[in-house]
Amino acid sequence: MDEDDNEESDNPAPFFNSDKYMKDKILDLTEDTITTFGFILVDAKILPSKNGMTLKAVIYRKGEDVSMDDCARLSNVLLRRLDVEVAHFSENYDLIVESPGADRRITSVRELGIFQDREMIFTLKNPSFFGLKENVIQGRVTRLSGETIEFSSERGTYNMEWSDVAGAKLYFNIKNYL
């Protein structure tokens, strides 16, 4: 090992000042804050914006709707925490805390698990493989095991792999709110 290698290993500053470390710290603090309040962090992203960067957090609570008040309260608490634990957070970041939306597109098996209590619409790549003529089916995920999904609808129960799914989204039924 030469002298330059030794200097690098003795100096942790480049690691602690890195963008990746800061991003990971912000996302970890975000998840911890949101779960402390009994919500699930569906997604968190740090995105470029015209004022610098934006932290966007999507939250969910099983069995209940996420209200605007929930988002505002969590946003306020999260902003205060990030301002304390991340130098100049408010100067460099905008913060958005939002619900998943009424008809959120499901992007992963992890999200299927999060929204297992909600009705969904699946678009299948090959409906005939499941004995169906149409490629769209509505129902609920009843079981997940790795990439295997058990899905129940009025037409029956289907076992499929995530790779069999062309798309999935939450189903919004206005009648539930009337």
Domains of the chain from N-terminus onward: 3-98 (3.30.300.70), 109-177 (2.30.30.520)
Provide CB contacts within 8 A for 136, sequence distance 6+. Answer: 121, 122, 123, 124
What's the angle, vertex CA 54, arms to CA 98 and CA 46, rounded to 5? 90
Q: What is the pLDDT along the chain (178 residues), one digit of tens a residue?
A: 444 444 444 444 444 447 888 999 999 999 999 999 999 999 999 999 887 899 999 999 998 889 999 999 999 999 999 999 999 999 999 999 999 999 999 999 999 999 998 999 999 999 999 999 999 999 999 999 999 999 999 989 999 999 999 999 999 888 777 7
Give buried/exposed letters for 130-149 (b at 16+ CB in 10 A, else e).
bebeeeebebebeebeeeeb
- The predicted-structure confidence for 82-112, as pLDDT tens digits, reads as follows 999 999 999 999 999 999 999 999 999 999 9
In angstroms, the first-to-last Cα distance of the chain is 72
Say which DSSP state 128 is in: G
Phi and psi at residue 24, to the nearest 5°: -60, -40
> In sequence order, which ranges of the chain are alpha helices (DSSP H)?
3-10, 13-16, 19-36, 68-85, 89-92, 109-114
The pTM for the full model equals 0.82
Cross-strand pairs, 167 = 123
pLDDT for the residue numbered 19: 84
pLDDT for the residue numbered 115: 95
Virtual CA dihedral for 62, 67, 69, 72, nearest 10 degrees?
A: 80
